[in-house]
Every structure is written in C-alpha cells, then in structure tokens.
Structure 1
Amino acid sequence: MTPSLDRIAAATRAWLAAADGPLILGLCGAQGSGKSTLAAGLQRRMEAEGRRTAILSLDDLYLSGTARAQLADTVHPLLRTRGVPGTHDALRGIAILDSVKAGEALLLPRFDKGRDEPFDREEAAGPVDILIFEGWCVGARPQAESALAAPINALERIEDPDTVWRRHVNRQLWGIYAELFARIDRLVLLAAPDFGVVRDWRGEQEETLWASKASGAMDAAQLDRFVQHYERLTRHILAEMPGRADLTLQLDHNRQPGATA
C-alpha cells in the first residue's frame, strides 16, 4: 500500500499548496481496492505534517433500514440493499462538505454495517484543512440512457427486467449526487484491473468477517448476488473516470499501483 500512499500524499501536498482554503479530496475505488486503508494512512501523514484532516466515507451516509425499506416499497425492491446512488443521505453529505468549505466544525455520521443501521453517535471534528471523501462511486457520472437498456448480469435481467432500478440509480447521478460530487476539489481513482477482481477482493473481506465470527458475513452465493448490485456503475467508472480524474492509480490484482495518469 505504501507506493499508492506515497503518490497520493505527494499529489495532495501539491494540491494543498495551490488551494485557497480547505481541500476536499475525493477518493474513488471499487470494493476491496484499499480506499479505507489509504484514507487512514493519508490522514496520519497529513496530520503529522500539521494539516488538520478528517475522513468521510460515502458508506457512512447510508440511509437507515427503514428509509431503504420505504424506497423498496415505493420505487424498487433492489433499493433495500445499501450501496447504489439513491441509498445515501446525499443532502447530509452536501451539508458536511459545505461546512468544510466554510471552515466550520463538523459532525460526521458513522454507519454500522453489522446492524445495517447508522450509529446513534456522530464523530465531532474541528475545522479541517483536508477532508478525505472516500467511496466506491465517489465522483461517478451518469451513463447515457441508451446504455441502460441491456442488462449486464443476472441480477438486472431477473430482478430489474423493466430497468426501473437502474434508471432510478442513474437519475440520482444526474441530480443530487452530481451536486454532492461537484463539491470535490480533487479526485483520485484507484482503478481495478477489471471487474472480476472486485469479487475476489470483496471475498477476502468476507473471509475476514467469517474468521472473526462477525454478524452479517455473506456466503459465496450471497456475495455473488451482492456484487452484481455494483457491477454496472463500477464498469462505467473504470471506463470513464480515468480520463478526468486528477490522479489515477492503475492497480494490479494485488492492489499495487502501476502507471499513473
């Protein structure tokens, strides 16, 4: 992980030097790509250099189970599963990023994936010089409507045959998520070599959960279905985002960076 961290830290120092006020750094990467580890490492380095730094994960903006159940009832059953645009409190995210820019103290939400619910307590942080905003689809842009018609996996073919779910997700990216991501100053992409490795990387996370006897760990069949929720947008990000990200790290299957862009 150190080569990736070294490159991101060097770029961040340059961006900070050119910034007029606090820096919001977007960190995008597929599930299991090492975003959280890199974000924590970058926070430690920046704070060691005297930069006040906080982390906001897109995952910590997930809606409650009750709110997602309402979406499942009124829009599409697949929205009960957290993950895709539309299952986060994007308005809360916008308020937090605006507070960063205003130099205000922050209250950062945290999400308990074991319970599949937000934690009752939030994390307080003072005004910051850097907010690292990390998540699997941070900075994502919508697809063309024509790209949504054909299903790309069994989940879409069987459970979203009328394209209601994927069109709803795409509309979120045109709307409130575009407003959220527009507040990012610099965008870093951890680019997986292909989508196939994402299933393997996420499988490693589930093996860790099984070993720790954590609640909510998925078996192989559950995991196969789960990652299909993320496949369309992950593939789109890997095809579209490298051309506009401020820094792209092309990762190999061991999460080590090769070329940068």
Structure 2
Amino acid sequence: MDAWLSDFIAAEGLPADFADSARAICGPLADRIAARTRAPGFIVGVCGTQASGKSTLTAVLRAMLEARGLAVASLSLDDLYLTHAERETLGREVHPLLVTRGVPGTHDVALGVRILDGLGRPGETLLPAFDKAADDRKPEGVPVAGPVDVILFEGWCVGAVAQADVAAPVNALERDLDPDGRWRTFVNAALAGPYQDLFARIDLLVLLQAPSFEVVLAWRREQEAKLRSRLAHEGGDLKRAMTDDQVADFIAHYERLTRHILAEMPGRADVVVVLDEQRRPKA
C-alpha cells in the first residue's frame, strides 16, 4: 500500500480494505481526468448520497491527481449553504422547512458560480466554509491561488435535474408538513433554474450510486451511531448526535430528490460507480 494512503486510512479511522476501493475507483478516474485536462479549471462533479463516502473518496482522488503533478482545488456543495439568518428569512417568507439546510434553494448558487469561474483564472479565490455544529457559515474563508488545473466539486445533489411532477408527497414529512406542496415546488423550481447554471460548468460528472434510499438511511444511522460512541468515549455532549428516529426525520427532507437521482442520473453521468451495501464498488 502507498504510504500516503496508509496514513490517510489510519488518520480517518477507515477499514484497511478501503485501500482496495480507493484504488478501484480513484486510480482509473484520476488517469481519465489527467488525460482530459487541457486547460485550467476542469471541473469534476462528484454526486453521492449522504454517507456514501463521496467526501473521503474525493480527498483520495485529489491526492492522486496532485501526485500526477496537477494543481487541484476542492469545493463542497455543503460549504455554499446560505447563512442561518438567510434560511430563517426563507422560512418566514416561503416555507418553514427551508430553515433546514440541504435541499436546493438553501445554497448560495451565485457564490458557487463565482468560485468555480474564479478558480480557473489567475488570482486568488476565497473558498467558503460552513460550520455544521453552529449551522452557519464561518466568517473566514480559505484563499486559493488560481488558476488550478482541476476543481473537484462534490455534493449530494451535484448535477441533479428537476422532476417533472412533485404533486404527490413521497413521505410523511411532505404529507404532513408540506400538504399544499409549496416547499417541494420551491425546491424543484430552484433546481430547475439557478442550480442548472451552476451544474452546467461541470466537465465530468461522477455518480456514486447507492443501492437504494433505504440503504442510505441505514448508512446515515450508522454515521450517527459512531458519533454517539465517540462522544461518549470523549465525554462530549451526546445531544450533538441524532437518534435513529431523528435521522429518519432529517433524511426525509432529501428522500424525494435522492430517489430521483438514483433513478435518473445513471443514464447520463459520465462515470457511474455502483456501490454495494458496504459502500464497496461493484462496477
């Protein structure tokens, strides 16, 4: 095993067999990106459900690209969240569910466009960072000198397209908290509009395809169980971790679009990595 990959696995607390997945996915992908990079600002979109491992794999992919001599910048869709105050305004003026970050309509799309465009040009671009514990954007950003060769842009709905019809609720949250469809209509319209301008900048779209939404829910519960265990070991505040019921309530916000992505995106993504229930690549 490469020393840097071994160190990465140890630092992240990952299983040893993660190295096999990293090589199977990131090695060929890094070769493909390096072969296609002809001008600065080549944008790779990485779409993956919650808890699919996209952030971890993106970090490995970045290391492999840098080992090939490329200048790389990473941007997470999560770091483009609107501030808490901005989402509270949406909650008052449009729908209370928009206070919860995550769905289209809760990101600063214009900021994302400026960042992706700026990283491909000479000069300094400030990358935002979001503090999930505080549920707000951090006041300071991270300066990156451009132009960079490759931009890795990852997020749970990166590259997604709108649905034709959102009238029928898909779960209890939509049925009980959005009975008139105002929230899901707003989300779908945002995805059909400003987000497509952002996603149109993607040169290569990669999908980490989970087996099903039900598996995603199990993955997300596993994440929170690990967090609870770590907090208990460290004497931290257990309220920082969600219970299984809270995870189910939270992920219900993303069920509609997650199911749509898993059904629709495999037919048009440039690269589809089919994952099994242990997040290992099947194909």
Give TM class, smaller chain: over 0.9
Cα drift, residue 51 of structure 1: 1.1
Partner of 1:12: 30
Which residue identity is paired with 1:87? T
Query: Which moves more between the two structures, 166-175 or 16-25?
Result: 16-25
Which residue identity is paired with 1:219? T
Partner of 1:231: 255
Residue 139, structure 1, aligned to residue 159, structure 2: yes
Which residue identity is paired with 1:139? G
- Equivalent residue of 2:202, what SS? coil
Q: Deviations over 1:33-56 (max 9, x none)?
A: 001100111111111221111210
Partner of 2:48: 29
Partner of 1:82: 101
Which residue identity is paired with 2:97? L
Mapping of residues 148-159 of structure 1, within 5 Å: 148-159=166-177
Partner of 1:106: 125
Q: Deviations over 1:141-193 (max 9, x none)?
A: 0000xx31111100000000100010100001111100000001101000000
Contact 1:192 1:253 (C-alpha < 8 Å) held by counterparts: yes
Residue 176, structure 1, aligned to residue 176, structure 2: no
What's the C-alpha RMSD, in Å, of the aligned pairs? Answer: 1.4
Cα drift, residue 101 of structure 1: 2.7
Mapping of residues 51-66 of structure 1, within 5 Å: 51-66=70-85
Residue 217, structure 1, aligned to residue 241, structure 2: yes
Cα drift, residue 103 of structure 1: 4.2
Contact 2:120 2:149 (C-alpha < 8 Å) held by counterparts: no
CA distance in 2, matches of 1:142, 1:59: 19
Cα drift, residue 208 of structure 1: 2.7
Q: What's the TM-score, normalizing by structure 1? A: 0.94
Which residue identity is paired with 2:29? A
Contact 2:43 2:150 (C-alpha < 8 Å) held by counterparts: yes
Which residue identity is paired with 1:5? A
Partner of 2:139: 120
Residue 196, structure 1, aligned to residue 214, structure 2: yes
Partner of 2:15: none
CA distance in 2, matches of 1:186, 1:30: 18
Gaps of 5+ in 1: none
Q: Deviations over 1:197-242 (max 9, x none)?
A: 1111111221232222366321222211100000000000000000
Partner of 2:12: none
Which residue identity is paired with 2:269? A
Cα drift, residue 2 of structure 1: 3.5
Contact 1:16 1:23 (C-alpha < 8 Å) held by counterparts: no
Partner of 1:245: 269
CA distance in 2, matches of 1:35, 1:163: 30
Give 1 or 2 for the bigger CA radius of gyration. 2
Contact 1:3 1:257 (C-alpha < 8 Å) held by counterparts: no
CA distance in 1, matches of 2:36, 2:74: 21
Residue 39, structure 1, aligned to residue 58, structure 2: yes
CA distance in 2, matches of 1:190, 1:5: 13
CA distance in 2, matches of 1:106, 1:5: 29
Identify the structure with bigger relative contact order (alpha carbons < 8 Å, sequence gap 6+). 1
Query: Which moves more between the two structures, 245-254 or 120-129?
Result: 120-129
- Equivalent residue of 2:240, what SS? coil
Contact 2:37 2:149 (C-alpha < 8 Å) held by counterparts: no
Contact 1:29 1:137 (C-alpha < 8 Å) held by counterparts: yes
Contact 2:30 2:61 (C-alpha < 8 Å) held by counterparts: no
Cα drift, residue 244 of structure 1: 0.6
- Equivalent residue of 1:257, what SS? coil
Contact 1:105 1:125 (C-alpha < 8 Å) held by counterparts: yes
Which residue identity is paired with 2:163? Q
